Structure 1
């Protein structure tokens, strides 16, 4: 599809500098109608306030703001938590999990308004371009995809600001903005500024969601999480929806400085990037969920679930949500999650979320077996035969090496 064949395009619009410039650029270069689309994934009312008016002033014909908060938490975050997915052992996938539901909603808007193209503001260096376009390919391959950062000749914030100024398009952005941030119900990410040098310690200006652990309360706070078949259903014995439960955990965790992370990660496109993440509620939730898993799952089941989590972390990070592999992994994880029912108490203190109590009707823990005191259920002499058989291969090899077998 050539530029002249594009009549209407739906743009993933945030109201930031990039997407504010994209609207007039699309109209000038594709001579098309631009429909703005924004997803509410829990990034906060301040980012959405006045967004529709701003899009129209920038040249969009209309703006659709879609509330995805509950669906994001219930249909994307909770399933990912069930797999135990943590990218490269640290990153809780906050940005990665949000992209597929945003892309899906963008496609739905495009089909609704009769658009023939989709547009995003992702750069050619990042992961998000792959996540969005992978979703577009799976959900609406007939729609053309426009990625301005791979087409236009602008390369900096100064270029974009000058472009908007020439066209009298209003913007609140400035050339002095230091950090690039992305927020949703699960986390907020920070890149840029001093973070581009991995030897530089993040300054206090980086963090916006959590209290500095050094300034957190000197009194620990405990929070109880209730689970039913792998899903969080209550916080401190109060029944809450998936989104509201996460909001509550974010509030509790942020007040104690929980969930800060400073990492260098491997992007899908091949380069490394340094970012800081704040995931207070997610850190608490993951700690509690894993505690129940260790109480309920046997050794082989837990080992296999960990393998599923490793694979799923790369699947989500690499933008492969709408694939048969995703469905297969989640089906396997759900089989384990069906047993994850119970309660966990997590202690919050100076940046740490520590599990201190756990219980489940499906617990495999038996005090009768595990006790160091006298018991009538385990004959310790039986361990000798088990160890002899368990180490038989090593014994045979040793004898062979000594010429005795």
Structure 2
């Protein structure tokens, strides 16, 4: 009997790859339980092909494939982008933001099927084990969680392959791609293998969503993105659903080599790791969102929201999407976004994107009569003298004090 006690039925977060296929069989063999496989469609495209057949052949009693693309972008990606959340200034949190939705749907299936346990394929060294399990406990504090990588003795690739051969599990031939990847509509990540040398440049053949900037078109392309309450709703005048819109931006960004990042990041558990990411649509979206915020948000409100970015991003990265502090921050952030309405025009060119125009018919705080360098009747430039003298008071007092003490200023 396992340390979890008797387990009758488990729902496994299943990708169809070697690791989760082995886990599926291992759960049956070691825990003697029925296993239901669950795969979340978050935009992995062809990676989902053949999953039900693989799951059944490995011993699953059922296999769910849930199309969560719209929910993923609408209820997870877009709220995070209202916060402009980027972890450690570089990472768009593509993997991090997917895990709470996967755990949510996995727990819904467990409840519907009467399962008493859930399982995942995250290792004991990574962030995903935390993200999945914090989600599980949020929905059911009493759920049994089986994390094979923290239990079994299959601690090398050779032992995994031996186990797969023993139980007739197909072993993918992957010599040409010696790294692991995780893909959804927001990004694709790469880690492990040759990337464990932080000095080695990621090979060009690794990238799947974008051309190299050197091979991108020599002519720039302009894209206009319309926002409503901080969320994008249309591209070049075409209204799109959240998932359709992000997919379109991925296509545009990938065409121009936009969104590549090579990062040494700090994992929640304390170690550094290297990740290479492609986030073409997200990179454009963040730039456009910043552009429309510049013209519609009050200075101090913008400053307040921006001060929350490191805390919000770390909260998501560490797996606390369902925690009260994230919900509290989200409420404030969403309040700041009510006025973020309008259009941003972004220029795409050889790996770069930048806002080159922004407008808002209803919420612009830009007044050309005040901002003009020409003569105006609104702003009295002589008023600036008193403003400057008042703001310099503490500096003048400090300077006078140092002169009395004969200290260098």
Give the TM-score band, short-chain normalised.
over 0.9
Asked if the contact 1:16–1:173 (Cα under 8 Å) also holds between the matched residues in 2, the reply is no
Asked if the contact 2:177–2:206 (Cα under 8 Å) also holds between the matched residues in 1, the reply is no
CA distance in 2, matches of 1:157, 1:235: 45
Once the 2 structures are TM-superposed, how far is the Cα of residue 166 of structure 1 from its aligned partner?
1.0
Check if 1:100 corresponds to 2:100. yes
CA distance in 2, matches of 1:317, 1:166: 37
Once the 2 structures are TM-superposed, how far is the Cα of residue 177 of structure 1 from its aligned partner?
4.5
Once the 2 structures are TM-superposed, how far is the Cα of residue 192 of structure 1 from its aligned partner?
2.0
Deviations 1:232-264 (A, max 9, x none): 110110010000000111111100001011111
CA distance in 2, matches of 1:149, 1:250: 34
Aligned length: 403
Asked if the contact 1:4–1:30 (Cα under 8 Å) also holds between the matched residues in 2, the reply is no
Asked if the contact 2:4–2:144 (Cα under 8 Å) also holds between the matched residues in 1, the reply is no
CA distance in 2, matches of 1:285, 1:97: 16
Once the 2 structures are TM-superposed, how far is the Cα of residue 22 of structure 1 from its aligned partner?
0.4
Unaligned residue ranges in structure 1 (runs of 5+)? none
1:125 counterpart SS class: coil
Deviations 1:253-299 (A, max 9, x none): 10000101111110111111111100000001000001111111122
Asked if the contact 1:131–1:318 (Cα under 8 Å) also holds between the matched residues in 2, the reply is yes
| Match in the other structure for 1:357 | 357
TM-score by length of structure 2 reads 0.96
1:190 counterpart SS class: strand
Deviations 1:159-181 (A, max 9, x none): 21211101112343556650100
Asked if the contact 1:58–1:170 (Cα under 8 Å) also holds between the matched residues in 2, the reply is no
Asked if the contact 1:292–1:358 (Cα under 8 Å) also holds between the matched residues in 2, the reply is yes
Once the 2 structures are TM-superposed, how far is the Cα of residue 123 of structure 1 from its aligned partner?
0.5
| Match in the other structure for 1:386 | 387
CA distance in 1, matches of 2:56, 2:349: 46
2:95 counterpart SS class: helix
Deviates more, 1:260-269 or 1:163-172: 163-172
Once the 2 structures are TM-superposed, how far is the Cα of residue 390 of structure 1 from its aligned partner?
1.2
1:95 counterpart SS class: coil
CA distance in 1, matches of 2:283, 2:313: 16
| Match in the other structure for 1:267 | 267
| Match in the other structure for 1:28 | 29
Check if 1:75 corresponds to 2:85. no
CA distance in 2, matches of 1:274, 1:326: 26
CA distance in 2, matches of 1:136, 1:3: 15
Once the 2 structures are TM-superposed, how far is the Cα of residue 325 of structure 1 from its aligned partner?
0.9
Once the 2 structures are TM-superposed, how far is the Cα of residue 191 of structure 1 from its aligned partner?
0.9
TM-score by length of structure 1 reads 0.97
Asked if the contact 2:370–2:379 (Cα under 8 Å) also holds between the matched residues in 1, the reply is yes
Once the 2 structures are TM-superposed, how far is the Cα of residue 201 of structure 1 from its aligned partner?
1.2
Once the 2 structures are TM-superposed, how far is the Cα of residue 381 of structure 1 from its aligned partner?
1.0
1:130 counterpart SS class: helix
**What CA RMSD, in Å, does the superposition of the two structures yield over aligned residues?**
1.4
CA distance in 1, matches of 2:284, 2:310: 20
| Match in the other structure for 2:130 | 130
Query: Structure 2 vs 1, CA of residues 373 and 176 (structure 1 numbering), >3 Å: closer, same or farther?
Result: closer
Deviates more, 1:101-110 or 1:199-208: 199-208
CA distance in 1, matches of 2:302, 2:34: 52
CA distance in 1, matches of 2:144, 2:223: 48
Asked if the contact 1:20–1:171 (Cα under 8 Å) also holds between the matched residues in 2, the reply is no
CA distance in 2, matches of 1:3, 1:311: 34
Check if 1:223 corresponds to 2:213. no
Asked if the contact 1:157–1:175 (Cα under 8 Å) also holds between the matched residues in 2, the reply is no
1:375 counterpart SS class: coil
Matches within 5 A, 1:314-393: 314-360=314-360, 361-393=362-394
2:205 counterpart SS class: coil
Deviations 1:328-367 (A, max 9, x none): 1111011111110000111110011111110012111122
Once the 2 structures are TM-superposed, how far is the Cα of residue 43 of structure 1 from its aligned partner?
1.3
Once the 2 structures are TM-superposed, how far is the Cα of residue 40 of structure 1 from its aligned partner?
0.5
Once the 2 structures are TM-superposed, how far is the Cα of residue 3 of structure 1 from its aligned partner?
4.8
Matches within 5 A, 1:233-312: 233-312=233-312
Unaligned residue ranges in structure 2 (runs of 5+)? none
Query: Structure 2 vs 1, CA of residues 322 and 2 (structure 1 numbering), >3 Å: closer, same or farther?
Result: same
2:395 counterpart SS class: helix
CA distance in 1, matches of 2:217, 2:174: 36
